[in-house]
Structure 1
Amino acid sequence: MPLRSNPTARQQRLGAELRKLREASGLTTEQAAAVLATNRTVITSTEAGRHGISPERVRRLACNYDCADSALVEALMRMAAERTRGWWEDFRGILPPTFLDISELEWFAKRLRMSTMTHIPGPFQTEAFARALFAAAIPALPADEFDARLAHRLQRRRALDRPDAPPYVAIIHEAALRIEVGGRETLREQLHSTLEMADRDNVTVQVIPFSAGAFPGSGQSILYAEGDVPSLDVVQLDRTTVAEFLHVEAQLRKFSLQLDQMQRVALSPEQTRDLIHAIAREL
């Protein structure tokens, strides 16, 4: 298969999982290459996500790597078979790669949990709300990048609009509901839009009230995307202007527990709706 000049996050993850399986089996890249009757450069390029691989070759490698996790093998084969060009690819070369990686993560996840402390979750944001956020950037964004970021932000809702949209749990701190991003009218519109999202069958919105006090994970936004199997889960954290993606089992367990605790201290979905309605009436 041809080399890929711009590997996607999914291709890189597939390659990384194949590398983990190979290293666990004790095989070298030369020995793995012999399994496929190819050279080690193909193996190293595949493990880096720069070279495509067929589902049949994934199964052959997994067999020779003595991988007994059939669910993982089937999930990796599905990743290898993906040929659809995602909508986010229209922004490649225009926006930072992490913007595209987040969109890809949201699109392919089987379930999503998101916690935000000061902003409404990206896929929920109205145009006016997102526009106000990007307008606050320092230094000011160039006009073409501003327009691209806005268009990309609004299209992220497509992951929740499609018929097979994944379950999405949004845990939002009360502060995010009260910060007047774009002014009172923009915030009021955003709150009503958030309530409409909460009415969707696949969406659950819970607010952590000020009265909850301290809780784990309060200092950052967390996106937990569940994969086809638990070992393919991903956590994305916002580190100021840089998005960080985590795959290590201990890290996944830590942030899953943090989100569990956040949901326990948050208001119920019904109480959340009541609070959002009350805040909107105050504006």
Structure 2
Amino acid sequence: MRESAGLTVADAGRELGADRTRISNMEAGRLGVSTERVRTLANIYAAPDSAYVDALSGMAEERGKGWWEEYRGTLSTGALDLAELESHAVSLTVLQVVYIPGLLQTEEYAQAVFRQSVPKLSHLDVQRRVSYRMQRKRVIERTPAKSCTFLVHEAALRMLFPGADGQRRQLERLIEMSEQEDISIRVIPFEVGAFPGANSSLTFATGPVPQLDTAALDTAHGSVLLDADTHVENYRCILCRTRDISLDAKDSRDFIHKVAKQL
């Protein structure tokens, strides 16, 4: 908003009665910002999009009140940011190639994944991360559930993280979840070959307004959130093209059934 208004950080500081360091820290997310201050800044910048201002104000009002706050100090900031992003999103689209998406994982599967972490996690750290992952599932288990599309590669269906029996139970969980009205699970079979985003582990959160659309990349160092227009548009395109080459919901359910029977 400040840049669109043609103001410098120093200009904004003078208008707000704050030093430029405070403005910079608010913009970088290093300092919290109140709903009142969001609206004051929007007024200073003559922001024309009231829906955008309302969405930002709503986020500022809820900041620090989510269930994930009980894990602050014990889990990474990136992990907490992902749960907060999922909570605020209007809808979610998830692409996973090697893993079953976290929101669909059984506790058994999640434990097996975290036991493969490097450096190795203690039993307590594994349990803490599993508990956190299970709580993230609130966004798809509440009523009404958040609209979610999961694009899952065949490789993820066949990787035996918890062993054959555990993987079968995980696939049965996918089948069960795929029957929910607001959840769509789409399988990308090996036979489609190469596709855009094949190296990605991605959650795309559609915000209450387009300016708040965000792509969250899952990396070895944790979640990385991207909201620059170019990044968002690139990942939006990747997901659109990947959805086009995936099986539809019914064929995906049948495909998962087939893989489960082979275990």
User: What is the distance in 2 between the residues matched to 1:107 and 1:248?
Assistant: 20
CA displacement, residues 171-203 of structure 1 (integer Å, 9 cap, x when unaligned): 000111111111111001000111111111111
One-letter code aligned to 2:195: F
SS in 2 for 1:25: coil
**Correspondent of 1:167 among 141, 144, 147:** 147
The 8 Å contact of residues 79 and 222 in structure 2, kept in 1 or not, is answered as no
**Correspondent of 1:141 among 121, 138, 146:** 121
With 71-80 and 257-266 compared, the bigger mean Cα shift is at 71-80
**Correspondent of 1:218 among 171, 191, 198:** 198
**Correspondent of 2:223 among 243, 246, 254:** 243
In structure 2, the partner of 1:79 is: 59
In structure 1, the partner of 2:136 is: 156
One-letter code aligned to 1:144: L
Q: How does 1:88-167 map to 2 (within 5 A)?
A: 88-167=68-147
In structure 2, the partner of 1:11 is: none
Kindly tell me: are residues 252 and 185 of structure 1, through their superposed partners in 2, closer, same or farther at Cα, counting changes over 3 Å? same
What is the CA distance between 1:77 and its match in structure 2?
Answer: 1.6
What is the CA distance between 1:30 and its match in structure 2?
Answer: 3.9
Kindly tell me: are residues 53 and 96 of structure 1, through their superposed partners in 2, closer, same or farther at Cα, counting changes over 3 Å? closer
One-letter code aligned to 1:268: D
SS in 1 for 2:146: coil
What is the CA distance between 1:143 and its match in structure 2?
Answer: 2.3
One-letter code aligned to 2:197: G
Kindly tell me: are residues 157 and 32 of structure 1, through their superposed partners in 2, closer, same or farther at Cα, counting changes over 3 Å? same
One-letter code aligned to 1:108: H
With 218-227 and 28-37 compared, the bigger mean Cα shift is at 28-37
What is the CA distance between 1:141 and its match in structure 2?
Answer: 0.7
In structure 2, the partner of 1:46 is: 26
For structure 2, list consecutive stretches of 5 or more residues without a partner in the other structure.
none
Q: Indicate the percent of aligned positions where both proteins have the same amino acid.
A: 40
Q: How does 1:266-277 map to 2 (within 5 A)?
A: 266-277=246-257
One-letter code aligned to 1:47: E
With 65-74 and 226-235 compared, the bigger mean Cα shift is at 65-74
Kindly tell me: are residues 45 and 254 of structure 1, through their superposed partners in 2, closer, same or farther at Cα, counting changes over 3 Å? closer
One-letter code aligned to 1:115: L
In structure 2, the partner of 1:6 is: none
TM-score by length of 2: 0.93
In structure 2, the partner of 1:4 is: none
User: What is the distance in 1 between the residues matched to 2:63 and 2:237?
Assistant: 34
User: What is the distance in 2 between the residues matched to 1:183 and 1:52?
Assistant: 44
CA RMSD for the aligned pairs? 1.7
What is the CA distance between 1:265 and its match in structure 2?
Answer: 0.5
CA displacement, residues 83-117 of structure 1 (integer Å, 9 cap, x when unaligned): 56211111111112211111111111111000000
TM-score by length of 1: 0.87
SS in 2 for 1:22: coil
One-letter code aligned to 1:86: G
